Structure 1
């Protein structure tokens, strides 16, 4: 367990005892994630290749004798939110909006017929928020695991992930795919995970020894993300309808070219990105499995160009950051990661390149953009779990 998780355990344990007057009996964690390749393919029933990262969310928990859920957010000055499991769930706004991710999980489990028990939960996390590293999925996954474990409900990783997606789509109101929750639930140490977003089948792909997963936050404030995301989703659905397929997963470039005159240029390019990105993701799986960082780098570069030119979700600062890192590395690759319009880039590079990358970003990024970047060197880690023997 790394120092970051130790700090989160200590933070939640302290807040729990201060709030409830006795120590927490259980601790759980779920990680954030970074997607190495496969962007905007998940809601098109396609393929993604994320890994769980060693930044996440921790919950300190104990059962109650009644049917109340009491939530405390240790990261928000111990802000408190509570509700009764026997009453209709209310969507919260303002400084209690964070509780909707938990309330949504409760609603999803109720709709599945599960009987939950009352409990006290204190929550803290260190996934950078608003960066596309899935702090929300980490929160949903860890609270879902906590709710089920303490209610004696056996649940699979895919069921846990689907409940998280249901929470986000139907309660919180964000129309996301399944990737974020699935990798948070199912990550494996030292591996990326090839996820088939239609079948939810997964395959662990070893990340080559001596490689580093480097995430760099551009610190571009992400505007219009939800509206642009929904627009692109609609464009993808329109393209699939024109081609007569269930989803863009079922199309290839030959079929797209055949129907090119039946859609406008923008819709055509949106579909081209998804179709070629699925191909790149499957090829990247083979490159990674064989330890071929050079091929992985070429595929990541092509992915970024496609996101920039066809899907049009990058911004100038992100493109500059990719150029700076790309020029600094000796092997591997770099691309934007996440929904777009700001957020982070991801680089998969030899560990020996990390300091060179850090220096290049410090020397050139602010000069080119007026912004300062934050860099995280990550380890691919296991998915959600109960923390046995946590320090209290």
Structure 2
């Protein structure tokens, strides 16, 4: 097992040392010093998959893996972007603020540019900037690398321009950027986790209760180390090409089902009424989508109650149950994630499930600390037996959301 993403070690250490390293990268690219350095983390979702756009419940944690952003404002209407992880290692993307419109910026640069557009679209007359990114959030692993980019930019601009926006409002603006500017119909899960999570806790979110001014979410204690447990993230290093279109298809299906049932959203269907509601739907595809969303919301509430009671080990079977629902009803799993989950459980994990949007990416496995290495090794051996690329494994430590590095 390794604490690496395949490109380099997690950049842990005193904030000052991390800040200095990122600031030096900024200086090497732009020839001047940054005004601020911020970071925003990736996330894993403990439970609550594809519930956010159904107005439901979710329970993510932030990771120690993060996007670090060094930034300095400009007064000439120009936005310059550079990533330490860019393929050529040296390119600067230069954009004019006046020409930022949805769909105008391809590739990774669309995410940070979209946040600047979203801030301006919301009436904040923010200027251009020089932005330098250095990230260890694995890309394509279902760990929200795009949300980390967005939330780092939103937080840095909020700081530099004195906007006074809450973390929840910054998350909503980041989601708006991804939905409208980039064109990805994501829910709010990723951005809320990156902005609002707290160290040592999972974030319980009832999407319908989110208030941009008050930030109504609840931190649920999650002391894995104190309980002698480890939450492994195992990145299968697989991402199937049809994932984006399938995501949008399922969201449309949920909206159609809610309309047929006369509900504002599927979160309004009680678990006790599920069977009767399924009989009113015209086809098995819609029934399966509804069954997953309603039972997944119930699992989030059950897991949250168990964590509140300090019963951490008892959540394991609910994680595995959630994976079966994603595999059989929502149909967003794949051969690789199914093998990883099945192997982890057979090797002693208390529970395991796919995390993220689906069709590849990562799984999580709740394991006794003493079993962590063996579980990770068993999954690696199972992949090797299939001739697949070796998975990457690391420990998910509940970490803080976006913050300034002093």
Q: CA deviation at 1:141?
A: 0.1
Match for 2:281 among 256, 262, 270? 262
Q: Structure 2 residue aligned with 1:158, among 148, 168, 183?
A: 168
Determine whether 1:173 maps to 2:148: no
Conservation of the 8 A alpha-carbon contact between 1:11 and 1:124: no
Asked whether 1:84 is paired with 2:90, we answer: no
Aligned match of 2:240 in 219, 222, 238? 222
Instruction: Count how many residue pairs are aligned between Structure 1 and Structure 2.
Output: 385
Gap runs ≥5 in structure 2: 1-10, 211-215
CA RMSD of aligned residues (A): 2.0
Whether contact under 8 Å (1:326, 1:333) holds in the other structure is yes
User: Which residue of structure 1 aligns with residue 35 of structure 2?
Assistant: 25
Residue 65 of structure 1 and its aligned partner are, at CA, apart by 4.0
1:205 is aligned to 2:220:
yes
Q: In the TM superposition, what are the counterparts of 1:210-359 in structure 2 within 5 Å?
A: 210=225, 211-259=229-277, 260-329=279-348, 332-359=350-377
Contact kept in structure 2, 1:130 and 1:222, CA below 8 Å: no
Of 137-146 and 232-241, more deviation after overlay is shown by 232-241
Instruction: Report how far residue 79 of structure 1 moved.
Output: 2.1
**Deviation digits for residues 299-346 of structure 1 (CA, Å, limit 9, x no counterpart):** 11110111111111111121111011112236x321111111111101
Residues 7 and 175 (structure 1), Cα distance of their counterparts in 2 relative to 1, 3 Å cut: farther
Q: More displaced, 60-69 or 131-140?
A: 60-69
8 Å contact kept, 1:4–1:126: no
Deviation at 1:360, TM superposition (A): 1.6
Q: Give the structure-1-normalised TM-score.
A: 0.93
Per-residue deviation at 1:254? 4.3
Moved runs in structure 1, 4+ residues, more than 6 A? Answer: 4-8
Inter-partner Cα distance in structure 2 for 1:329 and 1:4: 35
Q: What aligned pairs does 1:23-62 form with structure 2 within 5 A after superposition? A: 23-62=33-72
Is contact 1:256–1:268 with CA below 8 Å preserved after alignment? no
SS at match of 1:339: coil
Q: What secondary structure is seen at the aligned counterpart in 2 of 1:343? A: strand
Residues 212-250 of structure 1, C-alpha deviations (whole Å, 9 max, x = no match): 221001122322011111111111111111111000000
Aligned match of 2:146: 136
